[in-house]
């Protein structure tokens, strides 16, 4: 991974080399990213090819793996660990596809500049592209998982909330920018503090459990938060509204009847479409600002990359 691949070298040579200064303005950094979008695409495809190099099925594994996971969850929660929530596997997987993209991208991008030190030292290009390429590869796997979920929903005859479907691109864009922001900053910090890579793994594990993926927010968490007046504090976690939006779109139901007790269960917030839209647009605005700040921070830190690597 230290040496640039032949494809990466060809991509770098094919277009004019732009030397990115650590003191370049934010506008310059953004224009450099746009100008080198071919390099970004080349790195994304390179990451995918490397992952499945020598594999007979290749990218098909990215579809087979989530399909087997989904089938396993369906068997476990339908037969062995019944929690009373009908079609809990849909609720769970809708949250997992969001979390998997976020965790995979941030975890892999945190050490990407260190791992590709040879490329960083030999060629001048916008170094944040390395972290963004990891995020881009995670987006590909995310789309594949969405396709798997859609096929599963068609098989079991469960339709998504069509009226809420237009919120999906807004929520996804917020997810992408949030993920990219953290990935870019952490990739730069890790150059100076190598232990950050291991620390980030621990942080992501804790972050997962404070996000409503494997438990029902409205049934398990919301009542205790309301009593203590901590509901707003819980939503400081930006992953929460994104996960809830995906669950609302694909699981659909906010209240269901327990398959074990027959009692009603409140699963998701009974927010109106306008509330979901407001939350997601506000989060998208925050993610845009966060991404711009991340580029500024990266620019401040990249000046000494060569000496640290």
Assigned token pair, 142: 């995310």
What pLDDT is recorded for position 298?
A: 92
Residue 83 pLDDT > 80:
no
Q: How far is CA 193 from the centre of its chain?
A: 23
- Angle at which helix 88-110 crosses helix 196-209, to 10 degrees, equals 160
Question: What's the pTM value of the predicted model, to 2 decimals?
Answer: 0.86
Average pLDDT for 202-208? 92
**How many other C-beta atoms lie within 10 A of the C-beta of residue 149?**
22
Q: To the nearest whole number, what is the mean pLDDT of the chain?
A: 84
Q: What is the DSSP letter of 19?
A: P
Residue 5 within a domain: no
Q: Write the CB contacts of 264 (distance below 8 Å, at least 6 apart in sequence).
A: 255, 256, 257, 258
Convert the pLDDT of each residue in 292-304 to its tens digit: 999 999 988 888 8
- For 282-302, letters b (16+ CB in 10 Å) and e give ebbeebeebbeebbeebbebb
Residue 64 within a domain: yes
Residue 223 within a domain: yes
Q: How many domains does the chain have?
A: 1
Convert the pLDDT of each residue in 85-117 to its tens digit: 888 888 988 999 999 999 999 999 998 999 888
Residue 20 within a domain: no
Average pLDDT for 13-38? 68
Integer-rounded Cα radius of gyration of the chain: 21
Q: Write the CB contacts of 232 (distance below 8 Å, at least 6 apart in sequence).
A: none
Phi, psi of 264, rounded to the nearest 5 degrees: -70, 140
- In which residue are the tokens 């647009």 written? 281
Residue 138 within a domain: yes
Residue 17 within a domain: no
Residue 294 within a domain: yes
**How many other C-beta atoms lie within 10 A of the C-beta of residue 169?**
11
Highest mean pLDDT among 200-209, 215-224, 257-266: 200-209
Nearest to 44, CA basis, from 171, 141, 188, 111: 141
User: What is the CB-side half-sphere exposure of residue 260 using CA atoms within 13 A?
Assistant: 12
Q: Does the CA dihedral 159-164-166-171 come out positive or negative? A: negative
User: Domain limits at 201?
Assistant: 32-308
What pLDDT is recorded for position 118?
A: 83
């Amino acid at each position: 991974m230290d040496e640039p691949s032949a494809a990466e070298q060809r991509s770098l040579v094919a277009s004019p080399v732009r030397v990115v200064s650590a003191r370049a303005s934010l506008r310059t950094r953004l224009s450099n990213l746009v100008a080198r979008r071919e390099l970004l695409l080349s790195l994304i495809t390179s990451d995918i090819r490397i992952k499945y190099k020598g594999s007979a099925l290749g990218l098909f594994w990215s579809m087979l793996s989530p399909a087997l996971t989904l089938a396993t969850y369906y068997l476990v929660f339908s037969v062995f660990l019944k929690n009373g929530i009908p079609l809990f596997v849909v609720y769970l997987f809708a949250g997992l596809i969001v979390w998997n993209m976020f965790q995979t991208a941030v975890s892999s991008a945190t050490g990407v500049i260190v791992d590709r030190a040879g490329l960083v030292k030999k060629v001048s290009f916008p170094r944040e592209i390395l972290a963004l390429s990891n995020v881009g590869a995670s987006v590909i796997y995310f789309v594949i998982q969405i396709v798997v979920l859609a096929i599963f929903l068609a098989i079991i005859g469960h339709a998504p909330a069509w009226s809420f479907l237009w919120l999906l691109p807004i929520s996804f864009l917020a997810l992408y920018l949030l993920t990219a922001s953290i990935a870019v900053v952490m990739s730069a910090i890790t150059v100076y503090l190598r232990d950050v890579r291991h620390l980030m793994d621990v942080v992501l594990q804790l972050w997962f459990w404070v996000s409503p993926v494997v438990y029902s927010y409205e049934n398990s968490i919301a009542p205790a938060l309301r009593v203590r007046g901590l509901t707003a504090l819980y939503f400081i976690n930006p992953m929460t509204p994104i996960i809830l939006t995906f669950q609302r779109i694909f699981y659909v139901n906010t209240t269901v009847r327990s398959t074990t007790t027959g009692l009603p269960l409140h699963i998701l917030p009974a927010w109106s479409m306008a509330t979901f839209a407001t939350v997601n647009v506000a989060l998208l605005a925050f993610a845009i600002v966060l991404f711009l700040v991340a580029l500024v921070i990266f620019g401040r830190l990249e000046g000494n990359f060569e000496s640290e690597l």
